[in-house]
Amino acid sequence: MTIGAFIEHYEKVSSTNSVALLKLRDEKPAEGTVITASFQDSGRGQLGNKWESEAGKNLLMSIILYPVTVKAEDQFIISQAVSLAVFDLLKTETTDVRIKWPNDIYVKDDKIAGILIENSIMGNSISSCVAGLGLNVNQEKFFSDAPNPISLTTVTGKEHDLGAVISGLCLALNKRYQMVLKNDTSALGEDYHKALYRQGVWHRYSDRGGEFTGMIESVRSNGLLVVKRKTGSTKEYAFKEIEYLP
């Protein structure tokens, strides 16, 4: 299996994940098939969030995988692997790259990439997975209400070849996905925590109870975020249950 051995490119789609999911419904594409697009008019993020991307400027892609050896309760390992692949790629271009839980990619305090994992469960295993990602590459101005978008070109001061970025990312994805298939959860978890945004430092957050000062301690294997308060107590959060404050 080689991620990127088969690449299907579209000029315009609703979203690359939607195209990939339709292909899975109608056929069984080769594992590692990549769907890319120059523009998507309904780009999706986590829990229905929108993803802004100027036509032809950025990397919009989805990867079809069949991680049947991964149990449903361990599915966060796929999110870790894809996040780390994007992290690995960006580390070759710039510094201060971090993974903001669960799987946004940041440079310093600005968002450069987002990931959307959509798994199909059969029994207690994952029968198929569509890993979608948007990476801001050459876009210089952003017009949505997203608070902190940034691109590779605004970070590095130069334009980047999208084909080269796709090739580099496919190599990084191959490496990290092999770790998933080998069930190398320890190494993936260790690398993920090393890259985790705001881990080990006190910062401002808010939850249902209001604003508080907390420290990210870890992320559980099930994807829950563990945050410690200055009182010494800890609490686990699912996605959207906690807000990062500046």
- Band the pLDDT of 240: cuts 50, 70, 90: very high
**pLDDT above 80: residue 174:** yes
**pLDDT above 60: residue 93:** yes
**pLDDT above 70: residue 97:** yes
Identify the pLDDT of residue 197: 98
**pLDDT above 90: residue 57:** yes
DSSP one-letter code for 152: H
Tell me the sheet residues that pair with 209: none
- Mean pLDDT score of the chain: 95
Higher pLDDT residue, 206 or 51?
A: 206
The owner of tokens 């796929």 is 78
The CA-atom distances, in angstroms, between 149 and each of 133, 154, 167, 204, 209 are 15, 10, 23, 20, 28
Domains with residue ranges and CATH for the chain:
7-194 (3.30.930.10), 202-244 (2.30.30)
Whether 196 contacts 33, CB under 8 Å:
no
Higher pLDDT residue, 1 or 185?
A: 185
Identify the pLDDT of residue 52: 79
| pTM score of the predicted model | 0.94
Identify the pLDDT of residue 77: 98
Identify the pLDDT of residue 49: 58
- Average pLDDT for 218-222: 97
- Band the pLDDT of 46: cuts 50, 70, 90: low
- Band the pLDDT of 10: cuts 50, 70, 90: very high
Identify the pLDDT of residue 89: 98
Question: For the chain, what percent of residues have pLDDT higher than 90?
Answer: 92
**pLDDT above 80: residue 91:** yes
Cβ atoms within 10 Å, residue 102? 19
The CA-atom distances, in angstroms, between 55 and each of 3, 59, 90, 91, 122 are 24, 10, 21, 25, 36
